[in-house]
């Protein structure tokens, strides 16, 4: 388990937002007593974090522009995400989702974060499309490139024998910046990939980016409902965390889909994403583990 000292630094920015005294009070003997200072810091964290999460919720709920062009979004979500990553493996942190003072935040924050994620993807896709010399390496500028790459590599390991040169990936809920599809194409050059999204703007932007990167012969984009696609039994389906499609699992079972990846969130990350419904009629085989990423992935067969 990560020691408390390793996430004190990650908390400092958020703590300043909540209580400047936390950073300023360094004159007592606690500074010279490492154990006592650590325990006091831990207690302060546990008391201040609910207040901070409520502040994040209130700030986001008051915004109309959720794009990175709004500095309030960046100033709010940056410390918030860093804090959740820093504390997610602490035993006491798992109780935060049960805190009655945070029930409204737990219900509403995932929707607000989803709006910010969509706006961020639009922002970055348009940024890439404006570049005169766009290459695959250009994608590394994206703030969460490493997180996506690590998650995709973990998913490839999960799939193991289910992923062959004949496999076809169906990414449902691909968004304006189709990082999953792009990274699967980079990691597995023989794969064919189809992106599906019901938002027309997302499809227009992602199609343009795929063409600019020279991957249009391997990645296709469909504007439509995830449940109504022409699935084939050998398709490997990836369900995005933000996708809400109540009839999807029934449609996949009827089409006899054999391998299904479901992106999910647990613990404190449920303040960012609602936990995914799990598919009836499928058995859980393996999963990735959260390590510097907010999402993890179930493999169902």
Q: Please name each of the domains of the chain with its CATH number.
A: 4-130 (no CATH), 136-300 (3.40.50.150)
Is residue 14 within 8 Å of 80, Cβ to Cβ?
A: yes
Contacts of 193 (CB under 8 A, 6+ apart): 168, 169, 170, 171, 181, 184, 185, 218, 219, 220
Q: Which two three-digit tokens encode residue 109?
A: 């924050």
End-to-end alpha carbon distance in the chain: 31
Q: What pLDDT score does 94 carry?
A: 87
Q: What pLDDT score does 161 carry?
A: 80
Q: What pLDDT score does 42 carry?
A: 55
Q: Which two three-digit tokens encode residue 148?
A: 């996506």
Which pLDDT tens digits describe the chain residue by residue (301 residues)? 444 344 433 444 344 333 333 333 333 333 344 454 454 455 555 668 999 999 999 999 999 999 999 999 999 999 999 999 989 988 899 899 999 999 999 999 999 999 999 999 999 999 999 999 999 999 999 999 999 999 999 999 999 888 887 889 999 999 999 999 999 999 999 999 999 999 999 999 999 999 999 999 999 999 999 999 999 988 999 999 999 888 899 999 999 998 999 999 999 999 999 999 889 889 999 999 866 678 999 999 9
Contacts of 215 (CB under 8 A, 6+ apart): 182, 185
The number of CA neighbours under 13 Å toward the Cβ of 74 is 8
* DSSP for 95-163, written as a single string: GGGG-GGGHHHHHHHHHHHHHHHHHHHHHHHHHHHH-SS--GGGGGGSTTHHHHHHHHHHHHHHHGGG-
Q: How far apart are CA 274 and CA 265, in angstroms?
A: 7
**CB neighbours of residue 239 within 10 Å:** 26
Q: 168-172 and 192-197: which strand pairing?
A: parallel
pTM above 0.75, yes or no: yes
Q: How far apart are CA 119 and CA 147, in angstroms?
A: 18
Residue that the structure tokens 């009839």 belong to: 247
Q: What pLDDT score does 245 carry?
A: 85
Is residue 142 within 8 Å of 179, Cβ to Cβ?
A: yes
Contacts of 213 (CB under 8 A, 6+ apart): 134, 135, 136, 182
* DSSP for 36-56, written as a single string: HHHHHHHHHHHHHHHHHHHHH
């Amino acid at each position: 388990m990560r020691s408390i000292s390793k996430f004190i630094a990650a908390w400092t920015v958020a703590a300043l937002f909540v209580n400047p005294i936390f950073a300023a009070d360094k004159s007592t003997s606690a500074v010279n007593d490492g154990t006592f200072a650590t325990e006091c810091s831990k207690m302060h964290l546990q008391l201040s974090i609910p207040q901070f999460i409520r502040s994040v919720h209130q700030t986001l709920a008051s915004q109309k522009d959720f794009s990175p062009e709004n500095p309030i979004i960046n100033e709010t979500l940056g410390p918030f995400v860093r804090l959740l990553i820093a504390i997610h493996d602490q035993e006491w942190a798992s109780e935060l989702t049960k805190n009655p003072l945070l029930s409204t935040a737990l219900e509403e924050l995932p929707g607000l974060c989803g709006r910010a994620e969509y706006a961020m993807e639009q922002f970055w896709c348009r940024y890439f499309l404006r570049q005169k010399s766009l290459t695959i390496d250009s994608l590394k500028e994206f703030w969460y490139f490493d997180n996506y790459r690590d998650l995709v590599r973990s998913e490839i390991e999960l799939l193991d024998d289910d992923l062959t040169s004949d496999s076809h990936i169906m990414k449902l809920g691909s968004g304006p910046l189709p990082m999953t599809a792009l990274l699967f194409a980079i990691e597995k050059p023989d794969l064919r990939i189809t992106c599906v999204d019901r938002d027309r703007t997302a499809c227009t932007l992602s199609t343009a980016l795929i063409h600019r990167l020279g991957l249009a012969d391997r990645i296709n984009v469909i504007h439509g409902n995830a449940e109504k696609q022409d699935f084939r039994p050998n398709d490997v389906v990836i369900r995005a965390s933000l996708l809400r499609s109540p009839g999807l699992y029934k449609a996949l079972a009827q089409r006899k889909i054999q391998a299904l990846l479901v992106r999910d969130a647990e613990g404190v990350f449920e303040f960012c994403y609602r936990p995914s419904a799990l598919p009836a009629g499928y058995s859980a085989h393996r999963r990735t583990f959260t390590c510097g990423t907010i999402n993890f992935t179930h493999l169902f067969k």
